[in-house]
Amino acid sequence: MNAHSRITAQLPQGVVLDVTLEELRFTAYVVISPPDIELVADFVPESQFESDGDLHVTAVPHAQEAAAQVEDITFNMNLGDAAVFMCADQPAYHATLEALGQAEAETPPLN
């Protein structure tokens, strides 16, 4: 899996990425957050919910699981879909960003 991405927006708890993974291109919301589906609306804009694509949500509880979570969620995605990665802590957040094609040096720190 060879992902490439660029940061399109900063969020208080993470970033929004434009990700290309093989032939799949999608928006990824990567945040440090408890794994609570009710919190998704706090950082995903209403326009994303109104779009034709599906919104896939997953929790990343440990850094070691980041690559597998990215692979699992993208396996079920179609063009126009988006993904939310709710990371339990900084190590899980950074590992998820790396799995999505972001080098640690390129990723701005959270406030």
- pTM equals 0.90
Sign of CA dihedral 82, 75, 6, 14: positive
Query: How far is residue 89's CA from residue 34's CA, in Å, rounded to a whole number?
Result: 9
pLDDT digits (tens, 9 = 90+) for 11-62: 989 999 999 988 899 999 999 999 999 999 888 888 877 777 889 999 999 9
Predicted local confidence at residue 105, as pLDDT:
45
Query: How far is residue 111's CA from residue 104's CA, in Å, rounded to a whole number?
Result: 16
Residue 109 has phi, psi (to 5 degrees) of: -70, 155
Predicted local confidence at residue 101, as pLDDT:
93
Q: Retrieve residue 15's tokens.
A: 């970033």
Q: Amino acid identity, residue 33? A: S
| Domain residue ranges in the chain | 3-105
Least confident of 50-54, 68-72, 83-87: 50-54
Predicted local confidence at residue 108, as pLDDT:
56
Sign of CA dihedral 72, 25, 49, 11: positive
Predicted local confidence at residue 46, as pLDDT:
81
